Chains A and B, each alone.
Chain A
Amino acid sequence: MYKAGDLRKGLKLELDGEPYVIVDFEFSKPGKGQALYRCRLKNMLTGIQFDRTYRSGDTFKPADVEERKMTYLYTDGQFYTFMDQKTYEQYQVSAEQLGDSRYFLTDNLEVDVVLWQDKAIGVTLPNFVVLTVTRADPAARGDTATNVTKPVLVETGYELQAPAFVEEGDRIQIDTRTGQYVTRVKE
């Protein structure tokens, strides 16, 4: 069991039989008053977030979740299939559960799949992925300054802003935490 003093950002708890992750946390202690542990909790199954305040003396059941190294195989559009690298067992995660993460999956990408009661409920991506640009309009004439950007589309259907010099067929590195362009990759 966790105590209120164990609460911190990133901790995973079970509440009402469902797994939650603390996405924001603040410790407060007004004047001569009691300690308050203010949490923003995200339901790991539904993605719904809400705020709740706990006090010292409250205890929490750890969420029975684990992360396992898996390889991304394919999608049918609705479900994304991953394979456990040790057991070769296959797991499926829905597009809704993946959210924007689905835009950063490429064939054979190694990810950490989050399992709850042996069901896959999400993935933790590597911080950086490399994707191929499938559409990039030519830069407008005279746009030679390095800080000028334009929209480009990558192989997974994700659109982002990239520098004007990026062309169709280029490979670019993207930060999966922000969804933003990092650099062009020379291969």
Chain B
Amino acid sequence: MPDPREPVLRARARIVAAVRAFFVDRGYVEVETPHRIPAPLPEAHIDPVRADGGVLHPSPELCMKRLLARGWDRIFQICRCWRAGERGRLHLPEFTLLEWYRTGVDYTALMTECEELLLHAARAAGRGPEVHRQGIRVDLRPPWPRISVDEAFERWAGTDPDRALADGSFDELVVTRIEPALARLGKPAFLYDYPLGQAALARRRPDRPDRAERFELYAGGLELANAFTELTDPVEQRARFEAEQEARRRRGARTDPMPERFLQDLSRLPPCAGIALGVDRLVMLLTEAESIDEVVTFTPEELG
């Protein structure tokens, strides 16, 4: 009997092959970094999966930025990542991330690359420049709207991000007001410039020190990617990590030791930008799948 997921899994294989070719053609080198690391980068709301005295990496960011500090200038990786307790229609505790890093540019260069990458991947999936999700047409042709977090809160949440953070409603407003409003735009969209406390690894905006150069890419109601102009100041990075660790302690979550080797290497990190894109969700977008379960070979529940 044929596997009912065969058409989607074949499309997935074509999409992943096309993503690789896209980066190789642009002079990026594919790298493989260790999946089990001693400790993760401290982040308030990402809980790692423990593994034999270390953790399975929640993203390859730590090792990839250390490679940039060693002199690499364009690298990408497609790898499995793990995050404890994340399971839903759009979440798997083990999932696939694409990360790419580039020196000498800021996050706006990555926005342009996202536009080119998605069109390229859509062609590989045998699609035109339009997909449909939940009854809404998504036109992939660039340029895509770029909306600041401040503007999005004013337009769709009736408040400003700082007030929402103070009363604890920030995340809920993003999910219930801003994400649905972005989906209705009919194109993928970039939400950019987050409050500093929501972007622990991103560079401060020079003209707006309470905002950081981070963006999220949304398409068809899916949060597809998260990007930064990377923070390269080890002193500021340590202070930001301490704030993340403090947030973990407040919510009763386990904290890990400070990543000292990473902080040492950060002083040699050139100006650069980096991005993580969810490959499972990219496949969902381009195959019009409703649930992440439809685009993987096995869900955790199917493993028994």
Contact = CB atoms under 8 A, between A and B. Distances in A.
Interface of A: 5, 26-36, 38, 53, 56-57
A108 to B, nearest CB: 38
Q: Which of B45, B171, B251 has the most CB of A within 10 A?
A: B171
Contacts of A31: 174, 194, 198, 216, 223, 226
A28 B176 CA distance: 10
Interface of B: 43-46, 85-91, 170-172, 174-176, 179, 194, 198-200, 216, 223, 226, 251-252
A35 B179 contact: no
B43 A56 contact: no
Contacts of A30: 171, 174-175, 179, 223
Chain A interface mostly helix, strand, loop or mixed?
loop
10 smallest beta-carbon distances between A and B, as pairs: A27-B88, A33-B171, A30-B174, A28-B175, A34-B45, A30-B171, A30-B175, A31-B216, A34-B171, A5-B85
A57 B248 CA distance: 12
B217 to A, nearest CB: 11
A38 B179 CA distance: 15
Contacts of B85: 5, 35, 56
B174 A27 contact: no
A124 B141 CA distance: 50
Nearest to A30: B174
Contacts of B171: 30, 33-34, 36
Given A26-B88, A28-B90, 14 more contacts: A27-B87, A27-B90, A29-B88, A30-B174, A31-B174, A31-B198, A32-B46, A33-B171, A34-B45, A35-B85, A36-B175, A53-B172, A57-B251, A57-B252
Contacts of B45: 29, 32-35
A26 B172 CA distance: 13
A36 B174 CA distance: 11
A55 to B, nearest CB: 9
A5 B91 CA distance: 13
Nearest to B247: A34
A155 B240 CA distance: 70
A181 to B, nearest CB: 28
A27 B91 CA distance: 8
B91 A32 contact: no
Contact of A36 (B172, B199, B223, B251): B172
A68 to B, nearest CB: 29
A5 B83 CA distance: 13
Given A34-B45, A36-B175, A53-B172, A29 B86 contact: yes
Q: Which of B44, B170, B175, B194 has the most CB of A within 10 A?
A: B175
